[in-house]
Structure 1
Amino acid sequence: MAYAAAAALAGCAAPSQAGAGRPAGGCPTPGITEDEVRLGMLLPDSGNAESLFSPFRAGVDARLGVANAAGGVHGRQVRYDWEDDGSEPERNLVGAGALVNRPVFAILESTSVASGSAAFLHSQGIPVLGTSLEDPWTRYDNMFSYSNLLGHTGAVSTYGDFVVEHGGQRAVMVVTQFSRTSQDFAEVLTASLRARGIPVVATVDATAPVNFGALGRQIKESGADVMVGAVTGGAFGQAVLAALGAQANLKVILSPTGYDQRLLDTFKQIIAGVYLVVDFTPFEADRPAHKGFLTAMARYAPETRPANQQAALSGWISADMLLRGLQAAGTCPTREGFIKALRAVRGYTADGLLPQPIDFRADFGKLTRCLSFVQVAPDGKRFDLVDPLPRCGEEVPR
């Protein structure tokens, strides 16, 4: 019902911004005018995923700011309207319908509920670029991400390889029962560990509010020497605190989320020694592209502090991919032409921010095998690189 309503809105309601749909001379593509490319953005500005994804917008602002200051793309400034999906699939679909109706040329998206609008946006032929945390990103050819951590089948051994190398033998998995993404990610992590002979002997729930005593006892009584998280960095930090309070004998503590200075500021030495995983080259590598990102953030998104946040860099890379596609699509881009042009791009690294080059056609639908690991320093004030950088595993059954 919601899908049909959004489709109807996209087909017959009037644009909400004067001039937004005025076609350029000889270029009647929705969202393209003589002097502007109008985009949409979907992200949670409220709900339980807000803190995880909200910095994405700042990264987009920084990358588009740099591009527009240099003259835009083919002489057009690139701007966007945005909708809050409230961390809910239904609101994600409604927001997508509103953006398509304005109209917009493409959509930038960072959320855990992209599945709400994925089928609708695919049916409309709308390019979507952003953060992939659900399987639609590996199924619909209009959706582009620089990394796929979740897919409808399979997993990668990278997590399990790391845990084995660091002496882990039995794992406890931390999830939140109200997040489908958390549950799916736990399945991927479990498959990775199992493929390397590490059983997940217990699953514990870190949904707020956390009962630290009960959670700590569950972790300790599991007999696990490895704790792996499929939750936000803040929730995982609370699980670490609970485990320490119960004196659980953990040898390896690993989280695919939480690479953020704010996590260190909150938990400090409590999370010393914790390993975190990122799907890009960590800031501690200090590449020229990192410096460019931080300079742009200071100029175009100064309100975002600290600037070196994972979600903000995701926004920067997603916007960079979009700009690359617009450039390749020519002076009168169509949505179909954009998708075709970006799929043809090979060797994409976001100027060195990605650990491995991407072939947008050959790599479509594949899970990311090469990941970077960092460790919280003993004083809890910084992240240290864990060599080698990156580590590349292999596909394993899920």
Structure 2
Amino acid sequence: MLAAPIHRLERRTTLTAIAATILAALATVSCTNGSSPANTSAACAAPGVSPHEIRVGLIYPDSGPISGELEAARSGADARFGLVNAAGGINGRKITYTWQDDNSSTSGNGTAVRSLFESSSVFGLLEASINADGGADYLRSNQIPAVGLPITNVWSDPSYTTMFSYPSLITGGPVSDVVGRYVREHGGHRAIVVTTETASGVQGFDPPLAKSFAEAQVPTTTVPYNSAVTSPAEFVHRLPTDADVLVLALGPNDVLPIDAAVNAAGNRFKVVVAIAGSGDATIQKYGSSVAGLTTFSTLVPFRANLPAQQDYLRAVASYAPELQPATQEVAYGTYIAADILVQGLMAAGACPTRTGFINALRGMQNYNAEGMLAGKVDFTKTHQAINCLIFTRVNDAGTAFDVVPDTVPGAPSQTEWCGTGT
């Protein structure tokens, strides 16, 4: 049976907010509910595989400074594994897991990875940690498959060929001109990128953003911000006057006050785009004072109401009812990561091996989690380029984040904005 769920999830944290706050602080497949034909008689020699079970490892921080921000990850895993198990599992084998706490630290992550594979019999790994680099060399050296939430750079490092995730700007992978194209289509010609003086992790967003703007021929100027020294109103007053785009590469605790100050000062910018701040909490606390704030993600928002998203919500209600609200992005992203693991196991055959799993996933193209991801993932490539994003904007009344359609003639999708490639 799956481990008992936890019952203390009340945060509404986005993946970009985690990176910004803490580092300042998936052949075509789908998220199917069914399983491969039952085959419980096969005796397999792979670790973690028995006639009735495939046991995997789960690592996330149950303690330490990031634990509260990532606790929803376990609910996402419970929802996806519960869904596939209810449909008969993988070739008649149910997915179970043994979990380890990495204590929100790199050393703790390395210890947790080694413990799972040396003390427990597990097949592979599902991971939701900002310290996944701690155990990455062990996984690579032992050719152990791992799937994870893309919130640390190791998931986009092409040298770690046994590690799989979906694209995310957080990981610092290659980015097309999509962000720059978005601002140009909305009249922007020159951008100010605001970053923090005190957190190099947030500044990790700068290179991919700068590249995206450069490829779209939008010049940028970087301006540092320190909330301990300068108030939002003072900072906005001092911003250079030769730019019509404001990019806030900051955590939500800084993004929202600055954007509210921009609006209070008359908002001279044609576009204000932020890497964090999307979610119900922004609307509830700031409302119309942040009207026009634009955010972006590789995850399709729930207002799209896709069948796959409805499956997700039903799975949460059945197998992770402690998750409130059910739409938390950490859980949503982990559910998709868990689905990548499910798809790899389904493709690995009746008697899965670690090598078979890795090769099967490396043969997959055009994965988009039944539409829940912007663009498609090509796992034949050892790094995932970001070519498509979903942009959402606070409406004028400040009552919701609305999806911004791509209305350019010939656009392949009106909900996804895509660039020209990397």
TM bucket normalised to smaller: 0.7 to 0.9
Q: What's the secondary structure of 2:49's corresponding residue?
A: coil
Instruction: State how far apart, in whole Å, the 1-side matches of 2:67 and 2:279 are.
Output: 15
After superposition, residues 110-121 of structure 1 pair within 5 angstroms as 110-121=128-139
Cα deviation code 1:49-91 (max 9, x no counterpart): 4455332222211111111112211222212233333443232
2:179 is aligned to 159
Partners of 1:212 and 1:58 lie apart in 2 by 39
Which residue, 51, 57, 67 being the options, matches 2:74? 57
The counterpart of 2:45, out of the listed 28, 34, 52, is 28
CA distance in 2, matches of 1:281, 1:63: 17
Q: Counterpart of 1:372 in structure 2: which amino acid?
A: I
What whole-Å deviation, never above 9, does each CA across 1:141-191 have from its counterpart, x for those lacking one?
Answer: 111112243667743211111112222333333445565542222221122
Alignment RMSD: 2.7
Q: 1:114 to 1:159 in 2, by over 3 A?
A: same
Residue of structure 1 equivalent to 2:191: 171
Structure 2 gap segments, 5+ residues each? 1-40, 407-414
Length-normalised TM-score, structure 1: 0.83
- SS of the counterpart of 2:97? strand
Distance 1:355 1:197, change over 3 A: closer
Residue 372 of structure 1: how far off its partner (Å): 1.0
Which whole-Å CA distance do the structure 1 matches of 2:54 and 2:271 have between them? Answer: 47
Q: Aligned AA for 1:378?
A: D
TM-score by length of 2: 0.78
Superposed counterparts of 1:281-320, under 5 Å:
281-320=300-339
Aligned to 1:142: 162
Q: Secondary structure at the match of 1:103?
A: coil
Identity %: 34
Quick one: structure 1 residues 373 and 227, their matched pair in 2 at CA, closer, same or farther if it must change by over 3 Å?
same
Task: Select which of 111, 116, 123 maps to 1:105.
Answer: 123
The letter of the residue matching 2:420 is E
Output the CA distance in 1 between the equivalents of 2:292 and 2:114.
45
| Pair 152,270 (structure 1): closer, same or farther in 2 beyond 3 Å | closer
Could you tell me which residue of structure 1 aligns to residue 420 of structure 2? 394
Could you tell me which of 213, 235, 251 is aligned with 1:193? 213
Counterpart contact for 1:133–1:148, Cα < 8 Å: yes
Match of 2:395 in 1: 377
Alpha-carbon distance in 1 for matches of 2:367, 2:262: 41
Unaligned runs of 5+ in 1: 1-23
1:276 Cα shift? 1.2
Q: Which amino acid aligns with 1:394?
A: T
Q: Which amino acid aligns with 1:187?
A: P
Count matched residues: 369
Q: Which has the higher contact order (CA 8 A, sep 6+)?
A: 2
Quote the Cα distance in structure 2 between the aligned partners of 1:374 and 1:380.
13
State how far apart, in whole Å, the 2-side matches of 1:213 and 1:41 are: 42
Deviates more, 1:267-276 or 1:151-160: 151-160
- Structure 2 residue aligned with 1:254: 273
2:283 counterpart of 1:264: yes
Local SS of the residue matching 1:117? helix
Q: 1:171 to 1:288 in 2, by over 3 A?
A: same
